[in-house]
Amino acid sequence: MSRSLLVFLGAVSLLGLGCDEKSPGAGDASPSVAQASVEAPKVAEPKKAPPKLVMYVDASGVGVGGQFIDSKRDDLEAAIAAVLASGTFTIADPLEISVARQVLVPTVRALVRAVRAHGDKHVVLKTASRSGDLVALPIVLESGSIKKALASGIGKDASIAIWPASGGAARKKSHGLAGPDLTLGGEMLGKSVQEGDAIVYNAEDSVQWGRVFDLAMTRVEYKNASTAPIAIATGAYEPGKKVSY
């Protein structure tokens, strides 16, 4: 056999072997290509917590979470309660509410009733003292937790009255030259509070909250009064009558 024939047959054999190898087809995608064609599962974004509720009261009305409610509204209490019940806020415990000194007492009463109706347990009213410092006054909302209470308040003539919250004879101190005589009134209050008593504050409708707040601050000078729980009366100011709180 000639040398040229042998070379030709060898080449033919190599071609046959090459044809037996499977060439990659369109359906034989590599693992990396197949994985890329599968969509990644969608991960749900975590829900954002509702914003913290911010409340304040000024001479014009009540701010509740960015909404402002005019204090002259007949349905002030219901309007406040409706915003609180909207569920669009995170409500801290205790709930802190800034109250300006110029706010009239009926607005504070409505505020307390609305917050109580919402079911909040602990509230702190923050008001500027006469020296200008912001002072916190914790308020009891659950009247059932108070076993015995002394009522105190300020009349339209700036006199200070004290009487049993369950009803009874009221003692009074007349006003000073520039308003309630907090020295004498505070002394009478401090000496009247017995161990275990709570103090329920109120005032005639024309009295500003700042004066009631100042009266409440006088209690810190007296042992039993300084630790007494504080409540806000929810009804009209009537010295000697049973007090709702």
- Same domain assignment for residues 60 and 106: yes
- Same domain assignment for residues 175 and 227: yes
Looking up residue 198, the CATH number of its domain turns out to be: 3.30.420
Please report the pLDDT score of residue 244 as a whole number: 93
Q: Which of 90, 115, 140 is the last residue of a domain?
A: 140
Domain count, the chain: 2
> Is position 3 within any domain?
no
Please report the pLDDT score of residue 47 as a whole number: 75
- Same domain assignment for residues 66 and 99: yes
- Same domain assignment for residues 124 and 194: no
- Same domain assignment for residues 162 and 228: yes
Please report the pLDDT score of residue 120 as a whole number: 86
Q: 228-238: string of b/e by CB count within 10 Å (b at 16+)? A: bbbbbbbeebb
Q: Which of 140, 172, 197 is the last residue of a domain?
A: 140
CA 46 to chain centroid, in Å, comes to 24
Please report the pLDDT score of residue 134 as a whole number: 96
- Same domain assignment for residues 154 and 222: yes
> Is position 199 within any domain?
yes
Please report the pLDDT score of residue 142 as a whole number: 86
pLDDT in tens, 110-158: 999 999 999 888 899 999 999 899 999 999 998 888 989 999 999 999 9
Alpha carbon separation from 54 to 7, 15, 28, 159, 237 (Å, rounded)? 96, 85, 63, 34, 29
> Is position 241 within any domain?
no
- Same domain assignment for residues 154 and 169: yes
C-alpha span between 183 and 231 (Å, rounded): 21
> Is position 66 within any domain?
yes
C-alpha span between 172 and 165 (Å, rounded): 15
Per the structure, the complete domain to which residue 123 belongs is given by: 55-140
- Pick from 149, 156, 166, 241: nearest CA to 201: 149
Please report the pLDDT score of residue 30 as a whole number: 52
Angle of helix 182-192 versus helix 209-217 axis, rounded to 10: 60
> Is position 237 within any domain?
no
Ranges of the chain whose pLDDT falls below 70: 1-41
User: Which residues on adjacent β-strands are paired with residue 151?
Assistant: 163, 200
> Is position 77 within any domain?
yes
Q: Which of 88, 115, 140 is the last residue of a domain?
A: 140
Which is it for strands 198-203 and 149-154: parallel, antiparallel or unpaired?
A: parallel
- Same domain assignment for residues 160 and 228: yes
pTM: 0.79
